Amino acid sequence: MVEKKIGIVGGSGSGKTTLTIAMQQYFNNQISVLSLDDYYNPLGQQLKDENGHTNFDLPSALNWELFHQHFDLLMAGKTVVINKYQFNNPLAVKEKKIIYPKSLLFVEGIFLSNNLKLFSNLDYIIFLKTTEDLMFKRRMKRDIEERNISVKMIEYQWQNHFLPAYHQYVLNYEKEADFVIDTSVAFNLDEIIQQIK
């Protein structure tokens, strides 16, 4: 049964996945992870901007209904099976993720804090911050290597989609977090780990 629920929120390239992996290693198989990345709506349901480009950097881009169904299943001690989202990369191999209920549930995603129902239901919120320049460099590397996105489109999405959304939907929630980590420098997880154990 899930005993504690921890949210990890921050911008694209702020280190959410890296932190989650570090936590999984420390707690040795005691963590279930729900990533909002796996709950994006199909491409045909996404909004387009004034230039006809799909905008994934909006809270409405996510299937919140399905996410809450899976969250509730894990809270009830049941296993969740979901299709891993491949970010519309036609070269990616389709695969399923099986998420088993564990004593700790980590939920991570950019728009985690924008869902008040979920946000208020978490025991701890960890906010990851770093410079926008570093986030952009990390996003550029990831999107080229893992998501088959062109440099030109990455730059367009960053300026026209991500940055406006980051300032509107994400940054204001830093003050609501229980822990704030600056991932542009080395940091120590001991304090956080002791709190959530």
Least confident of 49-63, 66-80, 113-127: 113-127
Are 158 and 98 in contact by the 8 Å Cβ rule? The answer is no
Average pLDDT over residues 72-79: 95
Q: What is the pLDDT of residue 87?
A: 66
| Residue-level pLDDT at 180 | 93
pLDDT of residue 85 exceeding 80, the answer is no
To the nearest whole number, what is the mean pLDDT of the chain? Answer: 90
CATH 3.40.50.11540 fits 4-196, yes or no: no
The pLDDT-based confidence of 8 (bands split at 50, 70, 90) is: very high
pLDDT tens for each residue of 94-105: 788 999 999 999
**For residue 167, what pLDDT is reported?**
95
Mean pLDDT confidence for 75-84: 93
Residue recorded with tokens 């006809």 = 52
Region 53-68: mean pLDDT is 94
pLDDT for the residue 122: 93
User: Which residue in 194, 183, 177, 158 sits closest to 15, CA to CA?
Assistant: 183
Which one is predicted more confidently, 9 or 94?
A: 9
- Report long-range pairs for 155-158 (Cβ below 8 Å, ≥24 apart): 156/53, 157/53, 157/55, 157/56, 157/57
First to last CA, the chain: 15
The rounded distance, in Å, linking the Cα atoms of 85 and 97 is: 10
Q: For 117-145, what is the mean pLDDT?
A: 92
For residue 110, the model assigns a pLDDT of: 93
Mean pLDDT for 23-45 is: 89
- Domain spans of the chain, in order of start: 4-196
